[in-house]
Structure 1
Amino acid sequence: MDLFDDLPEPTRTSGPVLTAEHQTTTKEEREGRGDERRLKRKRDDVMSVAKERTEVKKVCREGVPVLKGYVAARRGEREEMQDAHVLLPDMSDRLSALPAQVSRVSFFSVFDGHGGSRASSFAAENLHQNLVKKFPTGGEVENVDKLIKKCLLETFRQTDEDFLKKASSQKPAWKDGSTATCVLVLDDMVYVANLGDSRAVLCRLESSPSPSEGPRRSVTLALSKEHNPTIYEERMRIQRAGGTVREGRVLGVLEVSRSIGDGQYKRIGVISTPDLRRCQLTHNDRFILLACDGLFKVFSADEAVKFVLGVIKEDTVAQTDELRFEAACQQLASEAVKRGCADNVTVILISIDY
């Protein structure tokens, strides 16, 4: 699997394109000397191209995976639930127009607040709305990866700026902050943008073995990168900005080195620029797991994936896949609390079905 920190420009996609003949008119036509038959032929050609595009898009739709989202949230021993989340299995109807080669857009996110719930709630309410406003729309888009990268970076920047503006206008000023882990899916291409220590992982099954080799084994693939001040690059950025890292925290207080909000730390190197990665889904992929650090304090990523697989493989009479995934999501969050996690726990499970 290829993961990209800096998304490359993709190669040109195959399919019908307008030739120079269709895009421009001749000198005679501009001067009004073109005959009616030539104009009619041009209209017929353009209609033919449009028809071919529609047919190509229909073929793409047939291979698009069906995604369904499930969520479980537990307060743990905290006085307040500071996590927030968003589930939009089909966000297409919120967009004014999709790029011609895209048939469906999905969006899922989890936000882990600290210092209060206002930053996480604000991000859950506004980040996907900013994404909709900045999303590339309409026509043949050749550099989809490049445009999505730009869109996500601007979306996170705008959301952070809007929250900081609101926070600073309060009396007293809000000091809340939040992590953000977001999964944006265009047909079968997954884009992950994250800040802080919430995580996203993918469960991929190995190719079908021979009957003698037993069941297919699972592989856990990391789709996100944690940001904390103990990481060399993060610590160096904070120190260059005049901050310090003590006991693994910014100024001995903040556990993450990137976040939405945390206005008091922005001047010393805590940023809202997300790590960006992408991954193309395959028929071997079973689900994506998003969760705040409350889960991963008591589960390794591989343990969490195996726990989910164990639940959805249970042979319960008359139980649908939807019920199995819902049960797996709820049981995983509850098990985290049973294992002693005192933090808030939010788990999002995204099933992948072809």
Structure 2
Amino acid sequence: MDLFDDLPEPTQTSGLPVLKGYVAARRGEREEMQDAHVLLPDMSSCLSALPGQVTRVSYFAVFDGHGGARASRFAAEHLHHNLSKKFPSGDTENVDKLIKKCLLDTFKQTDEDFLKKASSQKPAWKDGSTATCVLVVDDMVYVANLGDSRAVLCRLEAAAADGQRRLVTLALSKEHNPTMYEERMRIQRAGGTVRDGRVLGVLEVSRSFGDGQYKRCGVISSPDLRRCQLTANDRFIILACDGLFKVFSADEAVKFVLNILQEGSVEQRAGLTEEEVRFEAACQQLASEAVRRGCADNVTVILVSVGF
């Protein structure tokens, strides 16, 4: 399959997953909050029509701005609307292929629209932003990402012979760092250089929205795409900017959340189930712990619970 980087084949499930999103944002030691995020557990209100075989579409995204907050805010405001306009509808064949094209076209248009707006300002805006977007179409997760924000899935595999369930952390995104061979080659072919692990010695990521002054140096806005079918063994997805992953490995972050979900008693809160209270606490504590561990960067964490 050359359309996507597919993750392991799941066991089949019946029914659609129930998804709920929780978010925590910390400014860290930065003067300004340059992250942005979007949670749309049910995106159908944005879509004029769905493909015949699709029941529900959900969208979660985190954007980590640099050089200012304008690119991240622009992407948070516009990307899902562009996606809605391009999303396949009607009785279509090969929905997977159409969703892939829709995501690629959406990222391209969002970047072009921001660059046009940025270049029309006096002085021109130089903001840029990473993006990690999770689109869930029924039980299929599509992840499109630029830069070094990440998405990971917590899967508890079926019980082994000893009765223990095995924890698996699946990477749903691919980081874009200028030191990576393919990224560096593209930058150098475009006439750019990589110094001290950065494009022209300045920019830490090799793909992003905005960053108009680096686009001629091989920095692109084409996302990597991955897809993964959700299963009854899946517990949650973490989307977060690199501020979290500077002080947590993916496995550590997943285990940290699991520990909070499995703690004893929880404080009841009006209007929330016990599970919702636990997920909310896990999301907030994960972001706070990243700051406590010394992450000076902005930290934004989206935690998406998965239930069948």
For Structure 1 versus Structure 2, the TM-score category normalised by the shorter chain is: over 0.9
Classify 1:121/1:234 alpha carbon distance in 2 versus 1 (closer, same or farther; 3 Å): same
What are the residue-to-residue correspondences of 1:315-326 with 2, within 5 Å?
315-317=264-266, 319=268, 320-326=274-280
SS in 1 for 2:38: strand
Do structure 1's residue 311 and structure 2's residue 260 form an aligned pair?
A: yes
Q: Distance in 2 between matches of 1:5 and 1:175?
A: 35
What are the residue-to-residue correspondences of 1:238-277 with 2, within 5 Å?
238-277=187-226
What is the CA distance between 1:92 and its match in structure 2? 1.2
Give, as a single letter, the amino acid of the residue that structure 2 aligns with 1:94.
C
Do structure 1's residue 133 and structure 2's residue 82 form an aligned pair?
A: no
What is the CA distance between 1:254 and its match in structure 2? 0.1
What is the CA distance between 1:214 and its match in structure 2? 5.2
Do structure 1's residue 145 and structure 2's residue 96 form an aligned pair?
A: yes
SS in 2 for 1:194: strand
- 1:7–1:146 contact (8 Å) kept in structure 2: no
Query: Which residue does 1:206 correspond to in 2?
Result: 157
Aligned sequence identity (%): 82
Q: Distance in 2 between matches of 1:128 and 1:261?
A: 17
SS in 2 for 1:98: coil
Do structure 1's residue 166 and structure 2's residue 117 form an aligned pair?
A: yes
What are the residue-to-residue correspondences of 1:58-69 with 2, within 5 Å?
63-69=15-21
Q: Distance in 2 between matches of 1:239 and 1:226?
A: 19
What is the CA distance between 1:93 and its match in structure 2? 2.1
CA RMSD of aligned residues (A): 1.6
Q: Distance in 1 between matches of 2:209 and 2:53?
A: 32
Do structure 1's residue 185 and structure 2's residue 139 form an aligned pair?
A: no
SS in 2 for 1:252: coil
Query: Which residue does 1:300 correspond to in 2?
Result: 249
Classify 1:5/1:243 alpha carbon distance in 2 versus 1 (closer, same or farther; 3 Å): farther
What is the CA distance between 1:209 and its match in structure 2? 3.9
- 1:5–1:275 contact (8 Å) kept in structure 2: no
SS in 1 for 2:201: coil
- 2:266–2:277 contact (8 Å) kept in structure 1: no
Query: Which residue does 2:35 correspond to in 1?
Result: 83
- 1:196–1:227 contact (8 Å) kept in structure 2: yes
Between structures 1 and 2, the one with greater strand share: 2
- 2:65–2:72 contact (8 Å) kept in structure 1: yes
SS in 1 for 2:75: helix
Do structure 1's residue 7 and structure 2's residue 4 form an aligned pair?
A: yes
Query: Which residue does 1:110 correspond to in 2?
Result: 62
- 1:5–1:277 contact (8 Å) kept in structure 2: no
Do structure 1's residue 222 and structure 2's residue 182 form an aligned pair?
A: no
- 2:256–2:286 contact (8 Å) kept in structure 1: yes
What are the residue-to-residue correspondences of 1:90-101 with 2, within 5 Å?
90-101=42-53
What does the per-residue CA deviation read over 1:269-310, in whole Å, with 9 as the maximum and x for residues that have no partner? 000000001000010000000000000000000000000000
Give, as a single letter, the amino acid of the residue that structure 2 aligns with 1:92.
S
Query: How many residues are matched?
Result: 297
Q: Distance in 1 between matches of 2:46 and 2:290?
A: 35
What is the CA distance between 1:94 and its match in structure 2? 1.6
Q: Of 277, 281, 303, which residue of structure 2 is paired with 1:349?
A: 303
- 2:173–2:224 contact (8 Å) kept in structure 1: yes
SS in 2 for 1:206: strand
What does the per-residue CA deviation read over 1:41-86, in whole Å, with 9 as the maximum and x for residues that have no partner? xxxxxxxxxxxxxxxxxxxx96000000000000000000000000
Question: Gapped runs of 5+ residues in structure 1?
Answer: 9-60
Q: Distance in 2 between matches of 1:5 and 1:182?
A: 20
Query: Which residue does 2:9 correspond to in 1?
Result: none
Q: Distance in 2 between matches of 1:94 and 1:299?
A: 35
What is the CA distance between 1:6 and its match in structure 2? 2.6
What is the CA distance between 1:324 and its match in structure 2? 0.3
- 1:7–1:145 contact (8 Å) kept in structure 2: no
- 2:287–2:301 contact (8 Å) kept in structure 1: yes
- 2:159–2:166 contact (8 Å) kept in structure 1: no
Q: Distance in 1 between matches of 2:167 and 2:44?
A: 31
Q: Distance in 2 between matches of 1:281 and 1:214?
A: 22
Q: TM-score, normalised by structure 1?
A: 0.82
- 1:180–1:259 contact (8 Å) kept in structure 2: yes
User: Quick check: which has more Rg, 1 or 2?
Assistant: 1
Q: TM-score, normalised by structure 2?
A: 0.94
SS in 2 for 1:102: coil
- 2:191–2:217 contact (8 Å) kept in structure 1: yes
Query: Which residue does 1:328 correspond to in 2?
Result: 282
Q: Distance in 1 between matches of 2:276 and 2:171?
A: 24
